[in-house]
């Protein structure tokens, strides 16, 4: 019998057929993207692709670094990336050597894993990927088990990088849900649930209670949990799980609180940062500056402050008030109402579900934005609630350009988005609807329509926002 040709196998099976030859970053990235990627392909709930047994087994192959490196583990429908970045920044300001794992990336894969703010350089990434490929090829996984996914591989690489760089605390953002997420194999010092809303319902469930149960799956026996302001039905589920595991809860709005210093508004109305106050069970943090806009970011900052205080009480004494203030002040987290000051002003936001779209709409109430002609550039993934997002954000604009992103096959077609909008305004609307077949044309049309004194907001998907960000950065001198 003739052996099967090498190209008989789909790309994500070949890892166990022939040894991978990875000599540079380009080959490393190609090998990574040959894995099956549920950020690009919508998983079927019937296929049950998410299991912890496989990632536990694979982590043993790389020496189980998650057992040696304690973690801050963060789940939530929105806000988990910003909260992770804030905590990482506070810890770094305190002199703690941190590892930060987030997803998805904006421009480069390496953004997903940082040690004290530094991504692996091309040689480091190549060596990490090559080493992991050899380990996986050499391992004898049972034939009935599928090969590791893109996210599983990303998680393994992050832990390898953190281990090599002698990280003291890892800050981990869940990829999807919590209970069965790859990151849930960790040893947390604190768990955080930032928010709970309807998103990824085809996998996590179509009610807040079901989604809350998945998010609460990150809770561990006796480990404190910092909790954002959740809907009542979700709060009941998380509280029940916390009580079952004897986790002390720190709930925003009950055990700690925040408010924005609205007197800090500059006379011109131009704002790129905000001052907030955070009150915890033991003290008040006054006039903290965060270079991120919106009530939702003030909320996220309060979660970070509460977490820092818990860590300090647990023995990390270097986390003092100065480090907390400095860490928040120096946070840099792109695509969170990121403002490009030009003519017209362009704002990029990674909002991709109804709850996060409400947060964008709330920031747009600031006087700087209400006085301008406003044009929205909007695209969405096929598995998102595009109708609800358009209903929330559309009325804040004079015109909307519907488009699609090019780097991910999940994008809805612009014509389908416009049909949704038109069906919602069958009786007529003053909003002008347009379509463009790519982000470049969409941005150009929006800028012309807004005029030099106007505002263009790009949102609906992190994939759209990241593609437009690349365009803007490429055009800058």
Residue 427: which residues within 8 A CB-CB, separation 6 or more?
Answer: none
Residue 225: which residues within 8 A CB-CB, separation 6 or more?
Answer: 190, 191, 192, 193, 219, 238, 242, 247, 248, 249, 250
Of residues 139 and 377, the one with the higher pLDDT is 377
Which residues lie across from 170 on neighbouring strands? Answer: 71, 99
Residue 289 near residue 324 (C-beta atoms within 8 A) = no
Give the pLDDT confidence score for residue 6 in this predicted structure.
Answer: 35
Residue 302: which residues within 8 A CB-CB, separation 6 or more?
Answer: 252, 256, 257, 258, 276, 278
Give the pLDDT confidence score for residue 35 in this predicted structure.
Answer: 75
Give the pLDDT confidence score for residue 247 in this predicted structure.
Answer: 98
Structure pTM? 0.90
Q: What is the pLDDT of residues 35-50, one digit of tens each?
A: 765 555 555 554 445 5
Distance of CA 2 to the CA centre of its chain: 47
Query: Across all residues in the chain, what is the average pLDDT?
Result: 89
Question: Helix, strand, or coil here: 87?
Answer: helix
Question: Lowest-confidence range among 6-10, 121-125, 460-464?
Answer: 6-10
* Averaged pLDDT for residues 422-444: 89
Give the pLDDT confidence score for residue 367 in this predicted structure.
Answer: 85
Q: Which CATH architecture has domain 338-475?
A: Alpha-Beta Complex (3.90)
Residue 8 burial (C-beta neighbours within 10 Å; 0-12, 13-18, 19+): exposed
Beta pairing class for 374-378 and 345-348: unpaired
Domain spans, the chain: 22-329, 338-475
Q: What is the pLDDT of residues 209-258, one digit of tens each?
A: 999 999 999 999 999 999 999 999 999 999 999 999 999 999 999 999 99
Banded pLDDT at 143 (limits 50, 70, 90): very low
Give the pLDDT confidence score for residue 9 in this predicted structure.
Answer: 37
Give the pLDDT confidence score for residue 383 in this predicted structure.
Answer: 87
Banded pLDDT at 8 (limits 50, 70, 90): very low
Structure-block tokens of residue 461:
């998907």
Give the pLDDT confidence score for residue 336 in this predicted structure.
Answer: 94
Give the pLDDT confidence score for residue 267 in this predicted structure.
Answer: 45
- Separation between Cα atoms, residue 279 and residue 33, nearest integer Å: 45
Burial 71-81 (b: 16+ CB within 10 A, else e): bbbbbbbbbbb
Structural class in CATH, domain 22-329: alpha beta
Closest Cα partner for 177 from 48, 70, 58, 301? 48
Give first-to-last CA distance, the chain, whole Å: 61
Give the pLDDT confidence score for residue 47 in this predicted structure.
Answer: 47
């Amino acid at each position: 019998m003739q052996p099967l040709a090498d190209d008989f196998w789909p790309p994500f099976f070949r890892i166990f057929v022939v040894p991978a030859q990875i000599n540079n970053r380009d080959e490393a990235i190609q090998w990574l993207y040959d894995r099956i990627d549920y950020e690009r392909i919508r998983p079927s709930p019937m296929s049950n692709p998410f299991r912890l047994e496989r990632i536990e087994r694979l982590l043993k192959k790389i020496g189980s670094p998650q057992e040696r490196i304690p973690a801050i583990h963060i789940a939530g429908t929105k806000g988990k990336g910003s909260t992770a970045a804030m905590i990482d920044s506070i810890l770094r300001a305190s002199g703690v050597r941190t590892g930060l794992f987030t997803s998805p990336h904006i421009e480069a894969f390496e953004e997903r894993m940082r040690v004290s703010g530094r991504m692996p350089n091309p040689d480091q990434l190549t060596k990490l990927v090559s080493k992991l490929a050899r380990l996986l090829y050499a391992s004898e996984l049972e034939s009935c088990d599928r090969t590791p996914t893109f996210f599983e591989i990303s998680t393994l690489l992050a832990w390898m990088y953190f281990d090599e760089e002698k990280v003291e605390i890892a800050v981990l953002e869940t990829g999807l849900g919590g209970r069965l997420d790859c990151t849930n194999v960790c040893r947390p010092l604190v768990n955080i649930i930032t928010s709970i809303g309807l998103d990824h319902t085809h996998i996590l469930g179509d009610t807040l209670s079901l989604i809350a149960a998945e998010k609460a799956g990150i809770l561990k026996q006796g480990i404190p949990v910092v909790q954002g302001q959740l809907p009542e039905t979700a709060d009941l589920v998380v509280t029940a799980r916390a009580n079952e595991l004897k986790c002390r809860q720190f709930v925003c709005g009950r055990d700690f609180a925040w408010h924005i210093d609205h007197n800090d508004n500059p006379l011109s109305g131009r704002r790129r940062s905000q001052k907030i106050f955070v009150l915890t069970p033991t003290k008040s943090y006054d006039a903290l500056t965060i270079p991120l806009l919106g009530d939702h970011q003030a909320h996220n900052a309060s979660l970070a402050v509460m977490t820092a205080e818990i860590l300090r009480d647990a023995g990390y004494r270097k986390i003092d008030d100065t480090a907390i203030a400095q860490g928040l002040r120096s946070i840099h987290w792109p695509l969170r109402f990121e403002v490009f000051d030009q003519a017209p002003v362009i704002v990029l936001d990674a909002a991709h579900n109804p709850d996060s779209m409400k947060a964008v709409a709330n920031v747009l109430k600031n006087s700087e934005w209400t006085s301008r002609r406003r044009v929205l550039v909007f695209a969405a993934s096929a598995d998102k609630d595009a109708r609800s997002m358009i209903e929330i954000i559309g009325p804040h604009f004079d015109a909307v350009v519907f488009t699609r992103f090019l780097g991910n096959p999940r994008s809805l077609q612009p014509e389908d988005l416009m049909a949704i909008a038109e069906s919602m305004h069958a009786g007529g609307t003053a909003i002008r609807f347009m379509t463009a077949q790519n982000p470049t044309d969409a941005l150009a049309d929006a800028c012309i329509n807004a005029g030099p004194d106007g505002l263009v907001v790009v949102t609906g998907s992190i994939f759209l926002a990241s593609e437009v960000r690349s365009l803007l950065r490429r055009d800058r001198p």
